[in-house]
Amino acid sequence: MLQRSTITFIGGGQMGSALIHGLIQAGVSSTNIRVAEPVHDQRRALIDRYKVAAFPDNCAAVPGSDLVILAVKPALVASVLKEIAPYLAKETVLISIAAGVTLSRLVELSPVGQPVVRVMPNTPSLIGAGISALCPVAGISAAALAQAKAVMAAVGEVIILPNEAMMDGVTALSASGPAYVFLIAEALSDGGVACGLPRDLADRLTLQTLIGSAKLIVDSGRHPGELKNQVTSPAGTTIAGLMQLEQAGVRGALMAAVMAAWKRARELQ
């Protein structure tokens, strides 16, 4: 679907670069990709690595684009859209990955009738293992939505939300969630070191345990609680560790972390 499309990125930072990499890996020609990036060194790096057309000016990159992806900080969305709006064709699909910028705000800032899709990706997209939630403007064509989905599918799994109200929950869980997992990984490795393991061994055991456990949940199709019970023998080591986690309120703390991030996401709108 994207093979014949001209795809323009406004912003060539971490997530923009990840999407460019994913699209090229998925078979999109670098000649069909443009990026507007004001920082000279980053622009040069994108040209050298991906052989894409890169521009210091947003308006120079947009004309003739089939899709335009806003990969800029949320505070810059309004000024960027005001700048590029006159250069957007009426059928150009506008995709925003800016956190906290609502569909209604994107529509307000875009030309009337512009196909707009709000997306929340997460950082595992950097290695093609992400998950992105999409929320399209009402009345968008099936073809436009399919294009947006194809772009994000280049860096991982894609979910289309039934309503935008879920986007803050997505932000709190899957977008902020990697930070929670990184914290858990660090703590588990520290625990191994406290038990006398060398750091490199503790890290290796931690990472493969996390990877293997996640894969077991996915491949088995069983509830995490059921799998937890399988590991927990009467009066064994695992139940002793689980008791400490329960006494420390780890389960509640993780739930509270997601809720806190959800509340903050709502405040940013």
CATH number at residue 44: 3.40.50.720
Q: Are residues 65 and 133 in the same domain?
A: yes
Residue 2 lies in a domain: no
* Same domain membership, residue 241 and residue 146: no
Tell me, yes or no, whether 155 and 185 share the same domain.
Answer: no
Q: What is the pLDDT of residue 119?
A: 97
Q: Please give the residue that has the higher pLDDT: either 85 or 3.
A: 85
Of 164, 199, 231, which residue is a domain's last?
164
pLDDT tens digits along 118-147: 999 999 998 999 999 999 999 999 999 999
Would residue 169 count as lying in a domain?
Answer: no
Which of 129, 164, 199 is where one domain is finished? Answer: 164
Residue 57 lies in a domain: yes
Q: Does a structural domain hold residue 142?
A: yes
133 lies in a domain?
A: yes
Same domain flag for 30 and 155: yes
> Can you give the pTM of this predicted structure?
0.90
Question: Please, which pLDDT band fits residue 254 given cuts at 50, 70 and 90?
Answer: very high
Residue 247: give its domain's CATH number: 1.10.3730.10
In DSSP notation, the chain reads --TT--EEEE--SHHHHHHHHHHHHTT--GGGEEEE---HHHHHHHHHHH--EEESSHHHH-TT-SEEEE-S-GGGHHHHHHHHGGG--TTPEEEE--TT--HHHHHHHSPTT--EEEEE--GGGGGT-EEEEEEEPTT--HHHHHHHHHHHHTTEEEEE-SSGGGHHHHIIIIITHHHHHHHHHHHHHHHHHHTT--HHHHHHHHHHHHHHHHHHHHHH---HHHHHHHH--TTSHHHHHHHHHHHTTHHHHHHHHHHHHHHHHHHT-
Per-residue pLDDT, 2: 85
pLDDT single digits (tens) 169-223? 999 999 999 999 999 999 999 999 999 999 999 999 999 999 999 999 999 999 9
Quote the crossing angle between the two packed helices 177-194 and 199-220, to the nearest 10°.
130
- pLDDT at residue 120, rounded to an integer: 95
Check residue 9 and give its pLDDT: 97
pLDDT at residue 115, as a whole number: 97
Q: Is residue 34 located within the same domain as residue 123?
A: yes
Domain stop point among 120, 136, 164: 164
For residues 117 and 204, state if they share a domain.
no
**236 plus 181 within the same structural domain:** yes
Q: In the structure, what pLDDT confidence band is assigned to residue 12 with cuts at 50, 70 and 90?
A: very high
Whether residue 30 is found in the same domain as residue 75: yes
Q: Do 48 and 83 fall within a single domain?
A: yes
Q: State the Cα–Cα distance between residues 58 and 217, nearest whole angstrom.
A: 44
User: Mean pLDDT throughout 7-30?
Assistant: 93
Residue 1, in any domain of the structure: no
Indicate whether 1 pLDDT > 80: no
Pairing between strand 116-120 and 130-136?
antiparallel
What is residue 229's predicted lDDT score, i.e. its pLDDT?
96
Residue 95 lies in a domain: yes
Number of domains in the chain: 2
Work out the average pLDDT over 103-108: 96
Q: Is residue 154 part of a domain?
A: yes
For residues 119 and 228, state if they share a domain: no
Judgement on whether residues 192 and 233 belong to the same structural domain of the protein: yes
Range of the domain at 72: 7-164
| Residues 200 and 247 both lie in one domain | yes
